[in-house]
Amino acid sequence: MNTSNTPDRFAIVDENGWIVFDNRQIEEAAAAKDFFTQLHYLPNRSFASKLMGESVIVEAFDAPLIVQSFRFDQAAQKVVLVFNYSYTLEITAGAFTTEFLPKFFLDPWDRIYGETKQEIPFSFSKTAYGEFFDSLDEFDDDSVVFNGQRVDIQPIWQDETQVESADWWNQAYTGEIQTVTSPEHQKSSGKFEVNPGWNMDAPAETLKDMLPRMKLPKSRVLILGCGDGHDAAFFAANGHKVTAVDISEHAIERSKKLYGHLDNITWVQADVFKLPESFNNAFDLVYEYTCFCAINPKLRNNLVQVWSRCLHEQGQLMATLFCMYKRTGPPFGGSEWEYRETLKKRFQTLIWSRWRKSNPRRQGRELFILAQKRKLL
Q: How far apart are CA 141 and CA 152, in angstroms?
A: 9
pLDDT reported for residue 268: 98
Q: How many CB atoms lie within 10 A of CB 361?
A: 17
pLDDT > 70 in the chain, percent: 94
SS3 26: coil
Q: Name residues of the chain where pLDDT drops below 70.
A: 1-4, 178-193, 377
Residue 371 near residue 316, CB atoms below 8 Å: yes
SS3 207: helix
Q: Which DSSP string corresponds to 301-316?
A: HHHHHHHHHHEEEEEE
Q: How far apart are CA 124 and CA 258, in angstroms?
A: 48
Element (H, E) at 71: strand 69-73
Q: How many CB atoms lie within 10 A of CB 168?
A: 17
**Among the listed residues 2, 1, 10, 3, the one whose alpha carbon sits nearest the alpha carbon of residue 323:** 10
**Among the listed residues 188, 184, 202, 180, the one whose alpha carbon sits nearest the alpha carbon of residue 359:** 202
Residue 42 near residue 99, CB atoms below 8 Å: no
pLDDT reported for residue 198: 83
Query: What is the 8-class DSSP label of residue 133?
Result: H
Quote the pTM value: 0.93
Catalogue all structural domains in the chain, each as residue range(s) with its CATH number.
10-60 (no CATH), 65-155 (2.30.270), 162-373 (3.40.50.150)
Q: How many CB atoms lie within 10 A of CB 106?
A: 16
User: What residue type is 197 in one-letter code?
Assistant: G
pLDDT reported for residue 290: 96
Cα→Cα distances 309→279, 303, 319, Å: 8, 10, 16
pLDDT reported for residue 170: 94
For 167, phi and psi rounded to 5 degrees? -60, -40
